[in-house]
């Protein structure tokens, strides 16, 4: 054996010298199968790790009748890592294997390789796309061709591998699947090697419920109403609930109810536009919601559950006069805030009295800067009505004094048409800054004047300082030798 090895080394050295490429790295060993038999005629590939040369990094040979192989002329440094692979087609199929090692101090390595015949690839049953986050994945694995015991390795997405023994029909229950695409893999192994991974994919999907169907609510006077709707349907039969919202359109403190049921009872008052909407949502899973189903209506009347309190600022106090009977028959009072800031709703506290219980009173506000809903009172009870009208400022309303007009009609007869003023101001922070600048502008001017004076004084003092320093340096400068001799 020693002579045989020396012969091959010498032969490779001679050939390397002839070709001009001389590398002294060598690798030898034997090729075996899993039964411990030496395999002849196997294709053997030796690769040096981290080698960037075209030649000497990878060499291919064939194992001898004894299963022995040897490769020389390798760029294999001391303690350098390398990999040896071997394969051969047999009547049962392609057997292959590999092994890794490192070279010794003489740049030589001895590496044996065991080739293995992998078990047949398992057969996976295609899983259909569904909505169900729980499912069972099925596959079938075959027995090993050489009779070795086998087991399967199962993997779903990036989860850990799960082993399953024996061959034949298999199944794996998976739960809590996310709503996305999933990939699962299976391979069959014997004690020495494994088949290739076989993979398949499926998607667990989810869609949002359909939008609820609202029963339209018509315009009404002030009263208690019941709002009805039919909940949206989830096509995948998920359990759902409804979210309900109600209130004056654009107003504060809108009511929101989760898990609401159709038949919501609401009280309406004043003369306002009310809006309401409902959407249907899933209770589990992704908790998707449908689009909102919207509806709106106007409610006008004399009910006023919340009236303005505080000192009255009378923008207008006007009266109707019965000339024949010599006394006032109607009185109208409009209370406005002293001022309102930009983009803030304008509330009007309106009080109306009459010697008679008028019917079908209509209050209208005319303005180019504010938008008001008309306020209608079907019947004035006890000769008095008090209510609030809420005005919405139009976009980009500037500060200033604006004149609005209120008209009052009863059975198509006009009783009042009076004007009143509303003062709109900038927000408080802007007013504070503006007032400070207006009141204390002279402080800013003085600071600027003192800064200019200080700058010139600094320049004069600096110039005088450098002049004095220059005179001192001249006096201290030593005289020349020639001047001393004179």
Residues with pLDDT less than 50, the chain: 1-3, 5, 15-20, 302-328, 480-486
Q: What is the pLDDT of residues 334-385, one digit of tens each?
A: 888 888 888 788 888 888 877 666 777 888 899 999 988 888 887 777 777 7
Pair of tokens at residue 13: 């050295």
Domain at 314-428, CATH homologous superfamily: Immunoglobulins (2.60.40.10)
CATH fold of 123-203 reads: Immunoglobulin-like (2.60.40)
Q: Do 123-203 and 213-300 share a fold?
A: yes
The single-letter DSSP state of residue 246 is E
pTM greater than 0.95 (yes/no): no
Give pLDDT, residue 316: 36
Give pLDDT, residue 187: 97
Give pLDDT, residue 163: 94
Distance in angstroms between the alpha carbons of the first and the last residue of the chain = 110
User: Residue 267 and residue 222: Cα distance in Å, rounded?
Assistant: 8
User: Residue 285 and residue 179: Cα distance in Å, rounded?
Assistant: 8
Give pLDDT, residue 418: 82
The domain 2-115 is placed in CATH, from the list 3.30.1490.150, 3.80.30.20, 3.40.50.720, 2.60.40.10, at 2.60.40.10
Domain boundaries of the chain, sorted by first residue: 2-115, 123-203, 213-300, 314-428, 440-486
Give pLDDT, residue 298: 82
Give pLDDT, residue 285: 77
Sheet of strand 198-203: strand arrangement? 162-165, 151-156, 181-189, 198-203
Q: What is the pLDDT of residues 109-147, one digit of tens each?
A: 999 999 999 999 999 999 999 998 899 999 999 999 999
Give pLDDT, residue 244: 97
Strand 58-62 to 43-48 pairing: antiparallel
10 Å CB burial of residue 264 (0-12, 13-18, 19+) is middle
The domain 213-300 is placed in CATH, from the list 2.60.40.2140, 2.60.40.10, 3.40.1360.10, 3.40.50.1110, at 2.60.40.10
HSE-up of residue 188 (Cα within 13 Å, Cβ side): 23
* DSSP codes of every residue in 139-177: EEE---TT----EEEEEETTSPPEEEESSEEEEEEE-S-
Taking alpha carbons only, the member of 23, 20, 41, 22 closest to residue 31 is 41
Give pLDDT, residue 473: 58
Give pLDDT, residue 243: 97
């Amino acid at each position: 054996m020693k002579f045989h090895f020396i012969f091959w080394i010498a032969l490779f050295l001679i050939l390397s010298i002839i070709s001009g490429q001389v590398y002294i790295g060598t690798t030898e060993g034997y090729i075996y199968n899993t039964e411990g038999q030496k395999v002849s005629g196997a294709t053997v590939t030796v690769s040096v790790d981290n080698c960037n040369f075209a030649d000497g990094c990878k060499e291919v040979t064939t194992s001898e009748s004894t299963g022995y192989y040897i490769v020389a002329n390798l760029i294999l440094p001391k303690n350098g890592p390398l990999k040896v692979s071997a394969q051969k087609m047999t009547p049962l199929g392609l057997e292959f294997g590999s092994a890794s090692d490192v070279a010794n101090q003489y740049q030589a390595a001895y590496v044996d390789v065991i080739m293995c015949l992998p078990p047949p690839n398992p057969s996976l049953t295609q899983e259909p796309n569904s909505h169900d986050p729980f499912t069972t994945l099925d596959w079938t694995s075959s027995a090993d061709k050489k009779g070795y015991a086998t087991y399967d390795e199962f993997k779903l997405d990036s989860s850990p591998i799960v082993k399953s023994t024996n061959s034949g029909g298999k199944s794996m229950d998976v739960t809590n699947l996310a709503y996305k695409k999933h990939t699962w893999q299976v391979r069959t192994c014997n004690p020495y090697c494994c088949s290739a991974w076989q993979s398949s994919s499926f998607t667990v999907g989810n869609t949002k419920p359909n939008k609820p169907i609202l029963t339209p609510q018509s315009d009404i006077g002030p009263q208690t109403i019941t709002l009805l709707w039919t909940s949206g349907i989830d096509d995948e039969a998920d359990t759902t609930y409804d979210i309900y919202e109600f209130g004056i359109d654009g107003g504060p403190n809108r009511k929101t109810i989760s898990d609401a049921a159709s038949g919501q009872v609401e009280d309406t008052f004043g003369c306002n536009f009310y809006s309401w909407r409902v959407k249907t949502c899933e209770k589990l899973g992704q908790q998707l919601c449908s689009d909102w189903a919207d509806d709106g209506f106007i409610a006008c009347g004399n009910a006023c559950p919340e009236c303005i309190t505080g000192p009255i600022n009378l923008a207008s106090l006007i009266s109707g006069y019965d000339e024949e009977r010599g006394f006032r028959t109607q009185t109208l009072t409009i209370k406005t805030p002293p001022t309102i800031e930009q983009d803030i709703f304008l509330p009007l506290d309106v009080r109306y009295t009459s010697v008679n219980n008028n019917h079908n009173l209509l209050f209208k506000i005319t303005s180019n800067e504010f938008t008001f809903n008309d306020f209608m009172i079907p019947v004035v009870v006890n000769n008095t009505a008090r209510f609030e009208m809420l005005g919405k400022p139009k976009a980009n309303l500037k500060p200033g004094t604006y004149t609005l007009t209120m008209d009052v009609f009863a059975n198509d007869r006009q009783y009042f048409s009076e004007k009143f003023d509303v003062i709109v101001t900038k927000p408080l922070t802007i007013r504070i800054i503006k007032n400070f600048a207006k009141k204390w502008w002279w402080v800013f001017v003085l600071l600027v004047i003192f800064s200019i004076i200080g700058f010139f004084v600094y320049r004069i003092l600096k110039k005088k300082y450098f002049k004095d320093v220059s005179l001192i340096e001249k006096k201290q400068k030593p005289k020349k030798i020639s001047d001393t001799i004179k």
